Amino acid sequence: MPVIEERPAGHVRWMVPAALVALALLSVYLRTRELHAWFWIDEGISVGVAHHHWWSIPHVLRQDGSPPAYYMLLGLWIRVFGDSEVSTHTLSLCFAIAAIPVAYFAGRSIFDRRTAIVCALIVATVPYLTYYAQETRMYTYEAFLSLVAIWAYVNGVLRGRRWWLALLVATLVLQLYGHNWALFLCGGLAVATVVYARGQLKAFALAAAAVALLYLPWLPRLLYQARHTGAPWSTRPSFHDLFTATGASLGGDASFAALVVAAAAGLALRPGRIEKAMGVIVGVTVLLAWGTSQIQPAWATRYFAVVFGPIVLLAALAVVRGGRVGLVALVVLFFLWWGFQVRNDKENAKSIAAQLAPSMHRGELVISTHPEQVPVLRYYLGPGLRWATTLGPVADDQVFDWRNAVSRLRAAQPRATLAPLLASVPRGSEFVVVTPIFRDYHAWDARWTRLVWQRSIAWTNLLQSDPRLRLERVVTTNEIARKANYFKLLQAFVYRRVG
């Protein structure tokens, strides 16, 4: 009889690593089909910032509004593996793959083996990670750390196992230095502790003090960024956004609805303290982000990577407790997610640059009427060119200066800003103007983007009506001709100064 009992245990010990390896391989398959996808605005800024002297990156980010951890990590990465699309996307992929075993062990520690397996399945296939595993940004980094953070929080605070607090402190510090929205997660953890772990308030306060002490060196920079950069490209979220925000981390509204049905089917099983605490953490994080964005818009659902951990753990628990309905919901999720594939349609900067580069010369002027496009255009066109935007000459072509950007652009009157740029072009020489393709798209509704739209049209009109200039050619791409639904489409105009 003992032999019979040992065999299943042995099988389990063998099957779990095998299952995790299989899920990792599946995840690699799903998340490498567009690993070569072209960079868009934000990725160009990521690579540009990372190319600065490593110790200067925190100072450079005074212009950007982000904390430095991801950029410094990317800076080390590109010095070893290069700065190609595949290379930099692979860094994001590594965090997405590493999240799978962390999801399993967190689910196993917090709930049970069945929930752990479902959690690992979700993390291995969820479209959110599939998308951002193929983008040079910090979202898979934050999602991975979020899983570690909730694992450490439940064990260290809710269960009172003090040595886990060291892991919690380290993880939260890395999250805070990775993305500002981790501050909202810290708020959610604090509220959950007050409500569900009052006996651990002293321990949590000590951990919070340690996090604050380690974050203190960045606080002056954060306050500076809050005053001078912000996110003027964003709009205030609606009341509807408050309730649908977390669905973005689970593959959209349809996936979220399937999990809600599964959770409803499991209502007969009374939720415990841990599940309630996780719900509070997610709810408070979303509410703080939503409320803050009403005052100063900075809303983007991709930022909920900071709370990805508790979201997927609750989703896995909903599936397991939903019984047969949960199983059906899981099948529906796989049906929805299997067809998801990242498309190489974020931007056509690479194809525009490929047509421009052969005829360009060192020192030639390139003007972008969408100012934050300069870093990605510079990446594809290379060094040695002169850069300008509707704000005027660009001092650092690898980072966009967001400081007081709206007021600066309003003050930069088109005719007065353009005149010295044209005067710097020798008679008979060419220069390039890159402009966005304006379509009926909500991204042009914010304060900044609307102003970019207006200034771009004004500059285009000035250039086309200037008798000193001759339009030599218009550079477009097949994506424009097909009217493809690219996120940010560009076109270029090559002018020659003739008089």
pLDDT of amino acid 262: 66
Token pair listed for 110: 């917090």
Residue 114, classed as helix, strand or coil, is: helix
How far apart (Å, rounded) are the C-alpha atoms in residues 29 and 406? 42
- pLDDT tens track for 269-288: 567 899 999 999 999 999 99
Taking the domains of the chain in order of start, what are their residue ranges?
10-338, 349-497
CA 361 to chain centroid, in Å, comes to 35
What's the CA dihedral at 419, 425, 426, 429 to 10 degrees?
A: -130
pLDDT at 256 over 80: no
Percent of residues, the chain, with pLDDT higher than 90: 74
pLDDT at 153 over 60: yes
pLDDT tens digits, one per residue of 324-381? 888 888 888 888 888 788 888 788 999 999 999 999 999 999 999 999 999 999 999 9
Lowest model confidence (mean pLDDT) among 19-23, 251-255, 444-448: 251-255
Stretch 8-29: mean pLDDT, rounded? Answer: 83
Query: What pLDDT shows up at residue 244?
Result: 79
Residue 445 pLDDT > 90: no
Flag whether pLDDT at 1 surpasses 50.
no
Quick one: pLDDT at residue 486? 53
pLDDT at residue number 255: 66
Residue 248 has pLDDT above 80, yes or no: no
- Categorize the per-residue pLDDT at 3 as very low, low, confident or very high, splitting at 50, 70 and 90: very low
Cβ atoms of 247 and 256 within 8 Å: the answer is yes
Contact 136, 92 (CB under 8 A): yes
Radius of gyration of the chain (CA): 25
| Separation between Cα atoms, residue 346 and residue 341, nearest integer Å | 13
Q: How far is CA 273 from CA 149, 157, 193, 195, 270, in A?
A: 17, 12, 11, 10, 10
Tokens representing 326? 């949960």
Least confident of 224-228, 253-257, 272-276, 286-290: 253-257
- Calculate ∠ Cα 385-386-392, nearest 5°: 155
Q: Which two tokens stand for residue 436?
A: 């966005």
Contact 289, 254 (CB under 8 A): no
Tokens representing 256 are: 């979220």
Average pLDDT, the chain: 90
**DSSP assignment of 427-439:** TT-EEEEEEE---
What pLDDT is stored for residue 6 in this prediction?
44
pLDDT at position 443, please? 63
For residues 137 and 158, what is the distance between their CA atoms, to the nearest angstrom? 32
| pLDDT at residue 175 is higher than 70 | yes
pLDDT digits (tens, 9 = 90+) for 117-138: 999 999 999 999 999 999 999 9
